[in-house]
Structure 1
Amino acid sequence: MKHTKWIAGLVGIILGLIITFAIPTPHGLTHAGMVVLASLVTANIFWIFNVIPSFATGLLMLSSWVILGATDFPTAFNIFSTTTMWIIIGGLGLGAAATKTGLINRIALKIMSWFPANFSGQTLALFTAGTIISPMIPSAHPKTAMSTPIAQGISNALGYKPMSKGSSGLFLAAIWGFLVMEASFLSATAQNYAFKGLLPNKFQSVLSWGNWFIMMLPWTLIALVGGFFLLRFLFRPHNDQTVSKAFINQQLTDLGPMSREEKITGGVILVAIVFWILESTVNIPAAVTALVGVSVLVATKVLTPNDFKTRLSWNTIIFIGTVMALGNVMQTVGLTTWLRVILKPVISPILGNIWITVIALPIIIYICKFVVVSLISTGTLIIIALLPFFQTTPFNPAVIVFIVTTSVNIWLLSYMDAPFLTGSAAVNNSMASKRSLATSSLGYMVINIVGLLCCVPVWQLLGVV
């Protein structure tokens, strides 16, 4: 495996050098465009084969633009001063506090105590808890690491054997609620902001927190209802008897009353969500709201300076910044215009009609996931490939972000979804069989396309299609 990485890395570097220095610059493209194209080819190979950490690849890519004269430093690294980067940092800070204080765990357990203690009831509880918690933590890994052990405890309390239908179903309900439903809210994962940040500025304004929720509402309802009945059909045990909620109640008892830190965190997050929804009305940028919220948490000692070192994924933040830089720089050096001419015969039929787009594009992304494991890398590559066509599509390119966000989250093979692997590791890979993973993912892939199709009328009413 190590040799494969280094061979891939060497191939990527050689290809980059050939494109930069050996191939004549095509008509319609500048040398600066060739440099950016070469760096993109090399970076993609590095990302696909994980040659070095993704954020380091991204930093090298941006640095190569400056070293080889494609652009200057302020242009290459401009993205790190934008509001998108700061809302990611602020959002991750709020999520770190919610996880640290145990607030998220308490909310999830409380919701589960309201539902019947059987497969159907607790599946619905996991769906509900995950959907409610999603906008509070903009990071998938903590949510899956927290939710699957809760699902395992419920499974054990209900008497399900490891890898059985019931155990597999509850594991997937946790994944579905806490991971899949991230697509419903802009603040539910940092990659949503990253994909939004790849759009030209004039198209980003439509993707406020409130607009995102409204435009994704049909998909949310289809994903929740369809997912619940899919898991119930595939995994509900034949003898689905209601048992005692002793496990859930005991965990709630062990937590004790809400701490001062939980109350402060809950209040700050609630206020932040309200201001995110009303962003266009109160005219306060979402990034400012998030940063004020984090500052309050620091001032009240809910978060400490050390938490910023250990609880925020800085490598992810840097990686997101480097991939977002591609959008503006590709336009600046004329690469998007050149690619639009080259790729038009293939891409135009897909993007020429919104109904074709919401069917064909997810299928293309599903296929890409067999090769590109990282969710954010897959989404980035797709958006960058389509970027040259955003000026000519008959619909607002913002909808491409929705399609990408919902479609990268598949687990047909477990390696396709890194947060999924985190959730599996949290329960020692003991809950779900490989067959259950594959069948549920196939079901999601169909439900996803149906949900996106149901969004189209809403997008039309809102004037983005």
Structure 2
Amino acid sequence: MTSFSPELWLAAIVVAVTILLWATALLPEFITALLFFAAAMLLHIAPAATVFSGFASSAFWLVLSGFILGIAIRKVGLADRLAQLLATPLTASWPRMVGGVILLSYLLAFVMPSNMGRIALLMPIVGALAKQAGLHPGSRGWIGLALAVGFGTFQLSASILPANVPNLVMIGAAENSFGLHPGYMPWLFLHTPVVGLLKGMLLTLCICKLFPATPVRITQQQSLPRLSGEELRLIAVLLLTLLLWMTDSLHGISPAWVGLTAACFCLLPRIGFISSDAFGSGVNFRTCLYVAAILGVTAVVVESNLGNTIARALLAVTPLHEDSPFLSFISLNAMTSVLNFVVTANGVPAMFTPMAQSFAEASGFSVLTVVMIQVFAYATPLLPYQASPIVVAMGLGNVPARDGLKLCLVVAVVSALVLLPLNYFWFKALGYL
């Protein structure tokens, strides 16, 4: 059978070993990334253009641009200034500090569509806030706040239609396959209660429990100095960048190329903000390689037809029954979670959505319901590599892999036990089931 050809098995083995190494952190993530590139090319499991497609993707360049913008925000003192404004309301307690950072990441998603862009803006500010509250780099509190940025930015933004790459992939696939056009407000109303608000509360609780800290409460603000010329120039660059990010649907320029242009300006001699030495020491190229490899694995899975083979195999064994809607609902979420291991969050909608008609016929749900069910699952990764924005936030915050893995697993398990049933009842209350 073509689906079980030697080439397909070879691709499956390389992908499986790569995922296993990332999941167990037996090797540093960038070494696993390089091993994937080497194995994929030596064994000819896909063309070079596919294996290295991550370096050509907009996500990779958003990551690199994000590092550069973050360096600039810290270097000119803008991060400390903004952190000082947030310090008094947020440092009253650890839950308020964590919850405030998560809320800030969620609110920013309403006006800024790029996950990577939001992380690039937030991480230097939150890092400066942590230092002012006595939470030093590498401490439990510092790690907790860095993870709050990454998890809050990615997981909660799935409830906002244009604020998450998997959402946009899913909408494109749904339009092409079935002519479905979910609107902004129906999407928001369906997903905000569970994927947005309740998930935000769960993240706050989990981070406070797993990464306890006692921030220094700041009750009196020091008078802020006047904005320097460098700060004013950088504010102008950031505002223009933010404006172009917010209006990308109007001008058609990808957020990645807007971010790259802003990053280039920050690096220019005399008018920029970052020296060559600061660029070399400040950009985490390990994380850039990691993200490129994640995207390359996804491309190899699609190119080799491994994803479709796995999806068809899952359909054959997944219990979908018209007279058991709760079981079917849980099963479709479980199927999405399994696919998330193979193709990561950005690839899940592209693989799952075209098969929605088959899932709908087997479960008795409408095609629209099946399409919408996957949002909860791809927004709840079991491992960090499944969501590149989380990986980037961990890289910017120098978060150890085991800490990101621990939070991922705890949030996923509690979400499955508590939030998934609530999501079912919310779907049912709105008439989707």
**How far 1:318 sits from its partner (Å)?**
1.1
Letter in 2 for 1:311: G
Residue-by-residue CA offset, 1:39-96 (whole Å, 9 max, x unaligned)? 1122223223333322222232233232223333223223312223222222332223
After TM superposition, give the deviation of residue 35 of structure 1 in Å: 1.6
CA contact 1:127–1:176 (8 Å) conserved in 2: no
Partner of 1:82: 57
CA contact 1:127–1:173 (8 Å) conserved in 2: no
- Aligned-residue sequence identity (percent) comes to 14
Q: Please identify, of 135-144 and 285-294, the stretch whose mean Cα deviation from structure 2 is larger.
A: 135-144
Q: Distance in 2 between matches of 1:417 and 1:328?
A: 18
CA distance in 1, matches of 2:79, 2:325: 38
2:302 paired with 1:331: yes
Distance 1:121 1:109 in 2: 16
Q: Which residue of 2 aligns with 1:319?
A: 290
TM-score (norm 2): 0.63
User: In structure 1, what is the Cα distance between the partners aligned to 2:412 and 2:301?
Assistant: 34
- Assess if the C-alpha contact under 8 Å between 2:88 and 2:218 holds in 1: no
- The TM-score normalised by the length of structure 1 is 0.60
Matches for 1:357-372 after TM superposition, within 5 Å: none
> Does the residue aligned with 2:355 lie in a helix, a strand or coil?
coil
Q: 1:177 to 1:408 in 2, by over 3 A?
A: same
Which one-letter code corresponds to 2:225 in the other structure?
A: G
Structure 1: state its 5+ residue gaps. Answer: 1-25, 154-167, 187-191, 233-242, 369-376, 411-415
2:329, 2:373 within 8 Å by CA — same for their partners in 1?
A: no
Q: Is the 8 A contact 1:355 1:453 kept in 2?
A: yes
The CA deviation string for residues 84-127 of structure 1, in whole angstroms up to 9 with x for no partner, is 32222223322232233332332232134357957887676555
Task: Evaluate the alpha carbon distance shift between residue 139 and residue 342 of structure 1 in structure 2; reply closer, same or farther with a 3 A threshold.
Answer: farther
Unaligned runs of 5+ in 2: 109-114, 159-163, 209-216, 357-366, 385-389
Q: Would you say 1:391 and 2:373 are equivalent positions?
A: no
Among 291, 294, 298, the alignment partner of 2:260 is 291
Matched residue, 1:103: 78
Deviations 1:398-454 (A, max 9, x none): 9746643445589xxxxx99978998999xx9xxxx9xxx99998777776589669
State the AA in 1 paired with 2:259. Answer: A
Partners in 2 of 1:294 and 1:450 — Cα distance? 44
Q: Aligned pair in 2 of structure 1 residues 460, 72: CA closer, same or farther (>3 Å)?
A: farther
> Is the 2:150–2:392 contact (alpha carbons within 8 Å) kept by the matching residues of 1?
no
Letter in 2 for 1:404: Y
Q: 2:219 matched to which residue of 1?
A: 245
Deviations, residues 238-281 of structure 1 (Å, cap 9, x unaligned): xxxxx9813xx14xx4x633333333333322322222221111
Relative to structure 1, the CA distance from residue 131 to residue 357 in structure 2 (aligned partners, 3 Å threshold; closer, same or farther) is farther
Distance in 2, matches of 1:354 and 1:316, equals 41
Q: Which secondary structure does the structure 1 equivalent of 2:25 belong to?
A: coil
- Secondary structure at 1:392 match in 2: helix
Total equivalences in the alignment = 382
Q: Deviation per CA, 1:155-202, whole angstroms, max 9, x where unpaired?
A: xxxxxxxxxxxxx9x98995685344212459xxxxx76x78998985
The equivalences for 1:23-422 within 5 A come to 28-113=3-88, 125-126=100-101, 128=103, 131=106, 136-138=118-120, 145-152=127-134, 174=145, 178-183=149-154, 184-185=156-157, 218=193, 219-224=195-200, 245-246=219-220, 249-250=221-222, 253=223, 256-299=225-268, 300-347=271-318, 349=320, 389-393=352-356, 394=367, 400=374, 403-408=377-382
Instruction: Determine if contact 2:123/2:397 at 8 Å carries over to the other structure.
Output: yes
Residue identity opposite 2:33 in structure 1: G
Instruction: Answer yes or no: is the 8 Å Cα contact 1:200–1:328 preserved in 2.
Output: no
The whole-number CA distance in structure 2 between the counterparts of 1:274 and 1:357 is 43
